[in-house]
Amino acid sequence: MIKKAVPKSKYKLDLYLNNGDIREFDLEPYLKYEAFEELKNEANFKNFIIDELGGIDWQNGGSFSYDTLISNSISLIAKEN
């Protein structure tokens, strides 16, 4: 589950998970879709909530489910062998 999300530059979010993982989700490829157009505005991009199912919902457009966020993000924590 996502416990915290931090907006970064260039439409990226750092996702802090309950299991200790930190993942980076890049929203930029989605900005071409009408549902996410208003998020090109930085203030709108930063105005989101984490919903009860662990997804991200923006006040001015668009949302992503937890599964979509995890499947389309990269871990920022190096895996040990």
Kindly report the number of other CB atoms within 10 A of residue 61's CB atom.
17
Closest-CA residue to 56 (of 15, 8, 11): 15
Confidence tier at 81 by pLDDT (50, 70, 90): very low
Closest-CA residue to 42 (of 56, 29, 28): 28
**Domains plus CATH for the chain?**
2-75 (3.30.2020.10)
Confidence tier at 60 by pLDDT (50, 70, 90): confident
Neighbouring C-alpha atoms within 13 Å toward the C-beta of 46: 7
Token readout for 37 is 């157009």
pLDDT tens readout for residues 18-47: 999 999 999 999 999 999 999 999 999 999
Of residues 61 and 16, the one with the higher pLDDT is 16
- Distance (Å, whole) CA 23 – CA 77: 8
